[in-house]
Amino acid sequence: MKYLEEYRNADLVHKILDEIHRITTRPWTIMEICGGQTHSILRHGLDQLLPPQITLVHGPGCPVCVTPLELIDKAIAIASRPEVIFCSYGDMLRVPGSEKDLFRVKAEGGDVRVVYSPLDAVKIAQQNPDRMVVFFAIGFETTAPPNAMAVYQAKQMGLENFAVLVSHVTVPPAIVAILESPYNQVQGFLAAGHVCTVMGYWEYEPLAERYHVPIVVTGFEPLDIARGVLKVIRQLEEGRAEVENAYARSVRREGNQAAQRIIREVFEPCDRNWRGIGLIPKSGYRLREPYAFYDAERRFADLHEIVTQESPLCIAGEVLQGHKKPPDCPAFGTTCTPRTPLGAPMVSAEGACAAYYRYGRHHPPSSQNPS
Amino acid sequence: MCLGVPGKIVEVWDNAFMRMGKVDFGGVTREVSLAYVPEAQVGDYVIVHVGFAISVLNEEEAQETLALLAEMGQLEEELGIGAEGGADEVPGGIP
Ligand code: SF4
């Protein structure tokens, strides 16, 4: 497949890794923001091929992981109503709420449906005029344009039996929160290629300058990631802190204007709670007033009294901010496994705990046995 | 959800709301919205997320990235490392 195989070319990746080995003189800690990149790194063993001085820590870029518990519990309460058809991306179904997950709601007779695209949910609403269809609109900037389009289209069609439960988050405020944490160890970032495909990377330029931190826009294949790491290490070794684009086949500085237009039309920035991390100012989107009719939180306003209860064992917040790695969690691989997840990062296809479990990184890096 | 993979547009049409396309992901085809890539044509490669194309891949830039191979080869020559041999000897984790 074009644009895929050539970016998995092992010889080429090894050449870049050799160059990284050659230029690295000191310990450096780099964070990849995106959970998709975390999985690619572990799947291809890049973490084990880098010089031992380089530590990759994993960022908060897993939409399923950071969706706050109170919204999962709201989703569960809404999905349990007999008049509701609840539509969600598949990953959300097994994310533990305070008492149960959406999968359990489905098993108990709730009409919970997995959709591939938010437009599928709109279609279901059209086909079921006597039911209320609620779509769980989660995600980063990448899924914001599709989710915005679903709401926009529903309004154009005058669909009344459709609403979205919005839990949108955005990357730049999270980078600021990570850098301003007193526990921060991150010295350079791999920025998420597809978030930047939508938003561009101009927003990162003042951050690189203000915090003196290199930020390299990076794709998802082994070659892309190796190249992103090389560019960050080069900057760190030379004392530079700039934004570079290592994913130019998809990303332009200004991003995708058409996609940004619909985000601005439908959403506005708001403060957002990140699961395990807490409130980050202006780090999310909510529906603008003209689209408030489609806001499931308003349509189901009686749900506001939900009390949430997080597993006391889960250290997902520290994992998501790069302070700790999954094997540092006492529950990892014992009480918390993909079959019995205690926290969202063990569920999601983009969660760091699931990636460590799946690719056999069961011990902290110092004592890691290659498997 | 965020692992958008590249696919090739094999068909384009308009529905009541937007431009749509059929995209081939190495044998599996899906209907996707082309609302955010108005410039996309049949034969273009696009990155797709949850049913929407978010970018048309830029052939020139892709070639430039791959030309890195040559660039790195040159570098190795300068350093006196065998341009071909060296890389193969590194123990691998990459398939
Ligand atoms: S291993 Fe499980 S309990 Fe521990 S941080 Fe990850 S998701 Fe939470």
- Give the ipTM of the model, two decimals please: 0.86
Q: Say yes or no to pLDDT of A135 above 70.
A: yes
Q: What is the pLDDT of residue B70?
A: 55
Q: Which range has the worst mean pLDDT, A22-26, A111-115, A317-321, B77-81? A: B77-81
Nearest to B47 among A117, A250, A258 (CB): A250
Higher pLDDT, A370 or A128: A128
CA of A340 to the centre of ligand 1 (A): 10
- Number of residue pairs across A and B with CB atoms under 8 Å? 161
Nearest Cα residue in chain B from A359:
B93
Partner-chain contact B47 A220, CB within 8 Å: no
Partner-chain contact B50 A89, CB within 8 Å: yes
CB B87 within 8 A of CB A20: no
Residues of A in contact with B86 (CB under 8 A): 15, 18
Residues of B in contact with A256 (CB under 8 A): 36-37, 54-55
Q: Distance (Å, rounded) from C-alpha B39 to C-alpha A164?
A: 30
Q: What is the mean pLDDT of chain A?
A: 92
Listed by start position, the domains of chain A span 2-57+183-245, 65-170+255-305, 316-367
Partner-chain contact A248 B17, CB within 8 Å: no
Q: What is the pLDDT of residues B47-83, one digit of tens each?
A: 999 999 999 998 877 776 666 655 655 544 444 443 3
Residues of B in contact with A245 (CB under 8 A): none
Q: Say yes or no to pLDDT of B85 above 70.
A: no
Which of A301, A39, A268 minimizes the C-alpha distance to A168? A268
CB A227 within 8 A of CB A200: no
Best mutation site among A314, A335, A347, A358 for ligand 1 pocket (most ligand atoms within 8 Å of CB): A314
Which of A196, A198, A200 minimizes the C-alpha distance to A254? A200
Q: pLDDT grade, residue A13 (50/70/90)?
A: confident
Higher pLDDT, B92 or A62: A62
Q: What is the pLDDT of residues A221-255, one digit of tens each?
A: 888 999 999 999 999 999 999 999 999 999 999 99
Q: Measuring from atom 6 of ligand 1, which residue has the nearest CA?
A: A353
Q: Is A214 on the interface with B (CB under 8 A)?
A: no
Which H or E element spans position B66? helix B59-66
Average pLDDT score over residue span A15-29: 95
Q: Say yes or no to pLDDT of A130 above 90.
A: yes
pTM: 0.87
Residues of B in contact with A197 (CB under 8 A): 4, 47, 54-55
Q: Say yes or no to pLDDT of A210 above 90.
A: yes
Residues of B in contact with A142 (CB under 8 A): 2, 4, 49, 54
Q: Which range has the worst mean pLDDT, A11-15, A213-217, A285-289? A: A11-15
Q: Distance (Å, rounded) from C-alpha B41 to C-alpha B56?
A: 9
Write the CA distances from B62 to A15, A118, A215, A255, A341, integer angstroms.
Answer: 18, 30, 21, 17, 39
What are the backbone angles phi and psi of residue A194, rounded to the nearest 5°?
A: -85, -30
CA of A324 to the centre of ligand 1 (A): 11
Q: Measuring from atom 7 of ligand 1, which residue has the nearest CA?
A: A343
* Percent of chain A clearing pLDDT 70 (strictly above): 96
Q: Say yes or no to pLDDT of A172 above 90.
A: yes
Q: Say yes or no to pLDDT of A168 above 60.
A: yes
Structural domains of chain B in order of their starting residue, each with its CATH number: 5-79 (2.30.30.140)
Nearest to B93 among A45, A91, A198 (CB): A45
Q: What is the pLDDT of residues A285-308, one digit of tens each?
A: 999 999 999 999 999 987 766 777
- 3-state DSSP call for residue A168? strand
Q: Is B42 on the interface with A (CB under 8 A)?
A: no
- The CB density around residue A281, as the number of other CB atoms within 10 Å, is 12
Q: pLDDT grade, residue A91 (50/70/90)?
A: confident
Q: Say yes or no to pLDDT of B17 above 80.
A: yes
Q: Which range has the worst mean pLDDT, A195-204, A266-275, A296-305, B2-11? A: B2-11
Q: What is the CATH number of domain A2-57+183-245?
A: 3.40.50.11750
Q: Is A310 on the interface with B (CB under 8 A)?
A: no
Nearest Cα residue in chain B from A258:
B36
Average pLDDT score over residue span A51-70: 93
Q: Distance (Å, rounded) from C-alpha B56 to C-alpha A197?
A: 10
Evaluate: CB of A315 within 6 angstroms of ligand 1.
yes
Specify whether the backbone of A276 is left (phi greater than 0), alpha (psi in -120 to 50) or beta: left
Q: Say yes or no to pLDDT of A170 above 50.
A: yes
- The CB density around residue A156, as the number of other CB atoms within 10 Å, is 10
- 3-state DSSP call for residue B82? coil
Q: Distance (Å, rounded) from C-alpha A289 to C-alpha A338?
A: 39
Q: What is the pLDDT of residue A261?
A: 97
Q: What is the pLDDT of residue A304?
A: 61
Evaluate: CB of A314 within 6 angstroms of ligand 1.
yes
- How far A139 CA sits from the closest chain B CA (Å)? 9
CB A282 within 8 A of CB A173: yes
CB B23 within 8 A of CB B58: no
Residues of A in contact with B61 (CB under 8 A): 248-249
* Percent of chain A clearing pLDDT 90 (strictly above): 79
Q: What is the pLDDT of residues A326-353, one digit of tens each?
A: 999 999 999 999 988 999 999 887 899 9
Q: pLDDT grade, residue A10 (50/70/90)?
A: confident
Q: What is the CATH number of domain A65-170+255-305?
A: 3.40.50.11740
Q: What share of chain B is helix, strand, coil (3-state, %, to 5)?
A: 25, 35, 40
Q: What is the pLDDT of residue B88?
A: 31
Q: Is B67 on the interface with A (CB under 8 A)?
A: no
Q: What is the pLDDT of residue A361?
A: 86
